[in-house]
Amino acid sequence: MISRVHSTILQGIDAVACEVEADVAIGGMGEIKLVGLAEAAVKESVSRIQAALRNSGYRWPGPKVTINLAPADMKKDSAAFDLPIAIAVSVAGGMYASDKLDDYVLIGELALDARVRPVKGALATAMLAAAQGRKGVIVPADNAAEAAVVEGIDVIPIGHLAEAVGFLTDELPIDPVTVDLNAIFAVASRYDMDFGDVRGQEAAKRALTVAAAGHHNILMIGPPGSGKTMLAKRIPSILPPLMIDESLETTRIYSSRGLLTPGQSLMATRPVRTPHHSSSAAALIGGGVIPQPGEVSLAHHGVLFLDELPEFARPTLEMIRQPLEDRYVTIPRVHSTMKFPASIMLVAAMNPCPCGYFTDPKRPCKCSPSTIERYLSRISGPLIDRIDIHIEVPPVPWRQLRGDADGLTSTQMRTQVLAARAVQRQRFAKPAQDNPQSETCLPDRQVRNPKSTITNASMSSRQLRTHCPLDDAGETILKQAMTELGLSARAHDKVLRIARTIADLEAADTIQSHHLAEAVQYRRLDRKL
72-81 tens-digit pLDDT: 988 888 899 9
Q: Note the pLDDT of residue 335.
A: 72
Q: Is the dihedral of CA 239, 242, 243, 246 positive or negative?
A: positive
Q: Residue 500: name the closest of 458, 438, 472 by CA.
A: 458
Helix axes 513-521, 489-505, angle to 10 degrees: 120
Lowest-confidence region among 10-14, 92-96, 286-290, 303-307: 286-290
**Backbone φ and ψ of 31, nearest 5°:** -155, 160
Over range 249-256, report the average pLDDT.
94
How confident is residue 405, by pLDDT bands cut at 50, 70 and 90? low
CATH number for the region 2-168 comes to: 3.30.230.10
Amino acid at 522: Y
Parallel, antiparallel, or unpaired: how do β-strands 328-332 and 337-341 relate? antiparallel
Percent of the chain with pLDDT over 90: 65
108 CB-near residues (< 8 Å, 6+ apart) = 80, 82, 83, 84, 116, 117, 119, 138, 139, 140, 158, 164
pLDDT digits (tens, 9 = 90+) for 332-391: 877 778 899 999 999 999 999 999 999 888 889 999 999 999 998 899 888 988 899 999
How confident is residue 436, by pLDDT bands cut at 50, 70 and 90? very low
Q: Note the pLDDT of residue 30.
A: 62
Q: Note the pLDDT of residue 288.
A: 80
Task: Examine the pLDDT at 29 and tell me if it is beyond 60.
Answer: no
Task: Examine the pLDDT at 441 and tell me if it is beyond 70.
Answer: no
Over range 56-81, report the average pLDDT.
90
Q: Note the pLDDT of residue 28.
A: 55
pLDDT digits (tens, 9 = 90+) for 176-217: 999 888 887 776 667 788 898 888 889 999 999 999 999 999
In angstroms, the CA 124 to CA 118 distance is: 14
Task: Examine the pLDDT at 63 and tell me if it is beyond 90.
Answer: no
How confident is residue 27, by pLDDT bands cut at 50, 70 and 90? low
